[in-house]
Chain A
């Protein structure tokens, strides 16, 4: 069995390296440094860490001011508060002036688990994707989370990255793994159907493809870690081959990866698309695994959805 690690761990590991590489990196949190993993940076670089307290809106504005003074601020909270509570600050104080701020939010999606719907952000991709010029990244595992964080530091402009709370399988621990903003990855070739997945649903999609194989369905699996800008080339190529596309994400089916893929395909190569995700409902309390199963995002759920879609 693969190693299990939460994507937020990759964020903390990247921040530690970035603290040494770039003196201009400054990290802020809103009283969740332990949970978001900014705490590891705080310990190593106390002079470059600032706690805004439980005041996310102000934190975004301070980050804007820091970036206008040559710093590279990484600001963290839970996805719910970073993109929800502080949406308009992100939009007007960071997005509109196109500032070099990295909004790195943990506890995205329903795998927050027991805390329940108030803390399970399933709209963050949608909210951030709508802001002109905002890069939106949803890493699949700890390896990608670390690589994406580092790439964001060297990219000039606003970036949103979502990380998860729960441990998920490591799928990218190979020597030739490389992360590039805006580039998707072909994980498995297939000819019958394209599964486009993001975040921790990449793992369940890979496992679903294995299960489908035994039933005679040859699925192609693509990891879209950068949702904006979308790697349209890799999606178009696969859609032309399979003519059927399934999107899988731990996010509302409204406004996230599924919407981004549909927006592109409907204008450029209309094929039938099934969106697997949270079906316009709020989450609930429960273990991450139980919720993943209930909301049809585990490999069984994805397998079932793909089979129904093809029949």
Chain B
């Protein structure tokens, strides 16, 4: 998929995030939006997945360790054809397959997550199984930067590094904001790169909102042999909705009707601009 198509799709994913979170009257838009371009690239370009065969043993796996930003993953899965786009509007409602945090039972969800620090361990287990079976699949897991404060992340990193799991791609959504403030204000996990390097990871830095850079980072990750990879994606929390950008307030709340309209107007305008870009 070319960059323009990716941008258009990422814009759809952003709209899906805002619409579903608004309909649910709850959810985590900030970190979903910061990872929207990465979700889009993973499902439309990077990962070997088939919506018609979501349980394929040979598929690439994805574990959303920062499970609260699942509205972004749901939107990407829906647009990729894993389930109907309309189902996004059932997010967080009783009886829905779209639980507030990822839960098994929805096509495309490879692991139940939500309690921070745990997803990466499951991803390490999947990568280990892949090595045992000489399977070709790769395992991707996305972590929040605040999530790095969980000790379990470093237990998992130690194991992955010690076992040279080069089929594992850890990604950090580095938007620098967590619930109680900036990472530095809360309890700084920086330097993130040096920490992963110390655990025998190849570290790649990339811009989370530049598809050329995202493409370069994943290519470099795939070409890395003998050690696991960590891509640190520098991102903007709330990216794409002006009043949510770099504003920690939008970590975990839904916009009311007025702000919902503002957000959708902005995203629709962006959509039109991207259409025009295509016409040029």
Contacts and interface: CB of A to CB of B under 8 A. Distances in A.
Interface of A: 26, 47-48, 50, 52-53, 55, 57-58, 60-71, 73, 88-89, 92-93, 96-98
Contact of A64 (B114, B121, B130, B152): B121
A289 to B, nearest CB: 37
Interface residues of B, number: 33
B158 A47 contact: no
Nearest to A86: B152
Most chain A CB within 10 A, of B112, B115, B119, is at: B112
Interface string B128-147: 11101100000000000000
Nearest to A69: B129
Given A93-B112, A97-B104, A53 B159 contact: yes
A66 B112 contact: no
A12 B61 CA distance: 33
A61 B158 CA distance: 14
B3 to A, nearest CB: 33
B118 interface: yes
Contacts of B125: 61-69, 73
B111 interface: yes
B156 A88 contact: no
B152 A96 contact: no
A97 B121 contact: no
Given A47-B132, A70-B57, A58 B115 contact: no
Contacts of A62: 121-122, 124-125, 128, 156, 159
Contacts of A61: 118-122, 124-125, 152, 156
Majority DSSP secondary structure for residues of B touching A: helix
A92 B110 CA distance: 14
A259 to B, nearest CB: 26
Nearest to A67: B125
Contact of A89 (B114, B121, B124, B159): B121
22 contacts: A48-B132, A50-B163, A52-B155, A57-B121, A58-B159, A61-B124, A61-B152, A62-B121, A62-B122, A62-B156, A66-B126, A68-B111, A68-B122, A68-B125, A68-B126, A70-B129, A71-B132, A89-B121, A89-B152, A92-B115, A93-B121, A98-B104
Contacts of A70: 57, 129
